[in-house]
Amino acid sequence: MLGEKPRRTWQEAVVRWLADTQEKADHQKDVGKLKWLDTYLRDRYLDQIDRDLIDEIGRIKRAESSPSTANRYLALMRAILRMARNEWDWIDKVPHFRLYREPQKRVRWLRPKEADRLLKELPPHLEVMARFSLATGLRQRNVSYLRWEQVNLATGMAWIHADQSKSRKAFAVPLNQDALQVLIGQQGQHPEYCFTYHGEPVDRTTTKAWYKALKRAGISDFRWHDLRHTWASWHVQNGTSLYELMELGGWSSFEMVLRYAHMAGEHLRKAAGHVDGTVLTHPRNNKGLRLIASL
């Protein structure tokens, strides 16, 4: 009838979503998720995707993985359905559903001696990349595909362009002496990329060589991305403010660095002593203590 919206399929929505979001930093991850979802949604019209179906898909993914992984799939489904409603005007409503509760994970980081053990066990091409990661905090792909044109050794600076950044914002990377030493050692090995293996950028770092090195170093439950957590933890423990850390690491919001706030305990101990000797906290002032107890 005139004025009625034509029924659209999930596959049509997927095609348009991928076209509209191809600049996303995690575009390829979306592709992988959508291939899995295709098993359950390929023959569905958008108006057939109700809460019961979404809950069923969530339960299946949670059973084979984890609540956090299931949430990534559910969030992608919700984003596509919302875009179909809000921007494409293909549907009138989106089913309401909740994501699973995710346990708060601790920040995994290494102490300097542990990091040194790991570096000594890594093959040369991974060792230099890990050293650079620990010196700069850059994400794996930013290290893997760092080009010499993004580096100025004379000024001690590097740059991550907006299309290379997870936050889609360009940011500068000050190179400390450790980072400069690594790059100087890499000069002349490849005309375009700073880090290569057999003439190509190292796309995957979590290889068998990585896991074998972890085992030989006596380190467990540690991912390549935890090198970034280690770098951030070392910074905060040595007095770098969270705002400075946010800029150094290229995070898009202050909330992203709050996970490292508890690492500042040693740094804050001096500040905690600013009230030493005041009347209400002096242990020999019994009158003051009685006053506190009566409040």
Is 243 a residue of the active site?
A: no
Is 228 a residue of the active site?
A: yes
216 and 123 Cβ atoms separated by less than 8 Å:
no
pLDDT at 98 over 50: yes
87 and 13 Cβ atoms separated by less than 8 Å:
no
Q: What per-residue confidence (pLDDT) applies to 252? A: 81
Strands 157-160 and 151-152: antiparallel
73 and 57 Cβ atoms separated by less than 8 Å:
yes
- Averaged confidence pLDDT in the chain: 88
* 9-31: average pLDDT: 89
Mind listing the pLDDT tens digit for each residue in 126-144? Answer: 999 999 999 999 999 999 9
* 259-268: average pLDDT: 73
Which of 108, 225, 259, 267 is catalytic? The answer is 225
Q: How far is CA 119 from the centre of its chain?
A: 22
Mind listing the pLDDT tens digit for each residue in 22-37? Answer: 877 678 889 999 999 9
Which of 166, 223, 259, 267 is catalytic? The answer is 166
Which of 33, 61, 131, 228 is catalytic? The answer is 228
Is 251 a residue of the active site?
A: yes
Residue 57: which residues within 8 A CB-CB, separation 6 or more? 37, 40, 41, 73, 74, 77
* Band of pLDDT at residue 19, cut at 50, 70 and 90: very high
* Band of pLDDT at residue 181, cut at 50, 70 and 90: very high
Q: Which of 119-123, 130-134, 138-142, 165-169 is the least confident region? A: 165-169
* Band of pLDDT at residue 3, cut at 50, 70 and 90: low
Q: How far is the C-alpha of 13 from the C-alpha of 80, rounded, in Å?
A: 7
- Of 280 and 217, which is predicted with more confidence? 217
pTM for the full model? Answer: 0.66
212 and 219 Cβ atoms separated by less than 8 Å:
no
Count of CB atoms within 10 A of residue 93's CB?
8
Is 166 a residue of the active site?
A: yes
201 and 210 Cβ atoms separated by less than 8 Å:
no
Which of 33, 61, 131, 139 is catalytic? The answer is 139
Q: How far is the C-alpha of 262 from the C-alpha of 255, rounded, in Å?
A: 13
Strand (E) positions, the chain?
151-152, 157-160, 171-174, 196-197, 200-201
- Of 202 and 254, which is predicted with more confidence? 202
* Band of pLDDT at residue 188, cut at 50, 70 and 90: very high
**Half-sphere exposure in the Cβ direction for 239 (13 Å, CA):** 3
Residue with structure tokens 């790991």?
118
Q: What per-residue confidence (pLDDT) applies to 33? A: 95
